[in-house]
Amino acid sequence: MKTLFDKDTWQEIFSSIGQNKVRTIITVIGVLWGIFLYIVLSGAAKGVDNGFERQFERISSNSLFIWGEVTSVPYDGFKTGRSINFKLSDVTTLKNRIPEIQHIAPRNSSGVFGGSKAQLVNGQKKGSYNIYGDFPILTTITTKNIFEGGRFINESDIQNKRKVCVIGERTLQELFEEGETPIGKFVRINGIYFKIIGVNKFVDGGGPGDDGDIFLPFTTYQRLYNTGGYVDFLLVAAYPEADIVKVETDIRAVLKELHHVSPKDKRALGGFNIGKMFKQITQFASGMTFLSMVIGLATIIGGIIGIGNILLISVKERTKEIGIRRAIGATPKEIRTQIMLESVFLTVIAGIIGIILGALVLSGINMATKNMTNLPFTNPTVPIPYILGALFLMVVLGTLIGLIPAHRAISIKPIDALREE
């Protein structure tokens, strides 16, 4: 410990390092490049993970959409080309037969996957917008950002088939004056007056839709569009611990049975499994993190081996100096400590520089992408414990690699060293 804080020891360390500055700089770059790569790649992996979480932050990560399409296989007396239309009764059947299902939100729509958009009129202003018929349970699966003072559809609206609607932020901007409060006012939708109860601020990541969408109570939509008990598509959320891929398989099997569709028909039902995609993204991010660790560790080890080689060369060049020091009383422990301190010092300096450069690069990437809301990438960071762990590993490796030149130094006999020219 005394040697560690000895001024002469550090003067000798700096003198040794400075004897060949170019060689030292090249070696330090080799080490810092390793931790730099680790930080940048790990941060990028986290940025991708965060980006996709942001893209779908408003919807259950263990959920899926499913809808009916057209049969492609004749079955049970039915020909091909038959359109599959879900029914409200399918919701109850699915809930009863598949215990992994937590919530199901049946939805109707027009203008989204087909059909005409709704014509909305406010005074002299009018526009065409996508329109949905929904139940309140929708908000347990996907969040709606309702402006202050408003609300989303509730059970009372459903039971009483109220002529109320939630409009989108763009609808507000296009059909109302700036600063005008739409809550409580009436607009005409397809010629029928509806009372506005809320304004929804659309945010990417909640499924299909845009900032002009109109939401009606499901029962009101039924009457407006005469849809009866049919449903356009289902939004299903499974319990967090459930296997969403298996849940989708089970849902498809039950729906095919209910609608007399061949189990072999691959085209009768369409769907989009958000939970499956989340799992793939998580695996990709984990793979990138692991890859960054492997690449970073390999580069760090290569750089630290370079430090060991430099010190071996340095010991060889300083053979006479070491012999003189031994002759005038320097102990093997003091020589060994100095050589090992040189190794650790170079390793720590390289590590700190690499960490700083990596942090600067990640900060620059974050600044460049923070306003790109459509890009699945945000806030690329590396946890502090991971960084400290990497630096600690570098110090340990630097210490171990320093043992080799240190052993070489103390093995030099003073009389032999003094004979060398």
pLDDT in tens, 337-366: 777 787 788 888 888 999 999 999 999 998
Identity of the amino acid at 335 = I
How far apart (Å, rounded) are the C-alpha atoms in residues 29 and 161? 71
Residue 374 burial by CB count (10 A; 0-12/13-18/19+): exposed, middle or buried? Answer: exposed
Residue 111 burial by CB count (10 A; 0-12/13-18/19+): exposed, middle or buried? Answer: middle
How far apart (Å, rounded) are the C-alpha atoms in residues 121 and 245? 43
Residue spans of the domains in the chain: they are 3-56+279-419, 70-100+243-267, 102-238
pLDDT in tens, 274-288: 889 888 887 887 887
Over residues 306-332, the mean pLDDT reads: 74
Above 70 in pLDDT, residue 127? yes
What does the pLDDT read at residue 1? 47
pTM: 0.73
pLDDT in tens, 93-109: 999 999 999 999 999 99
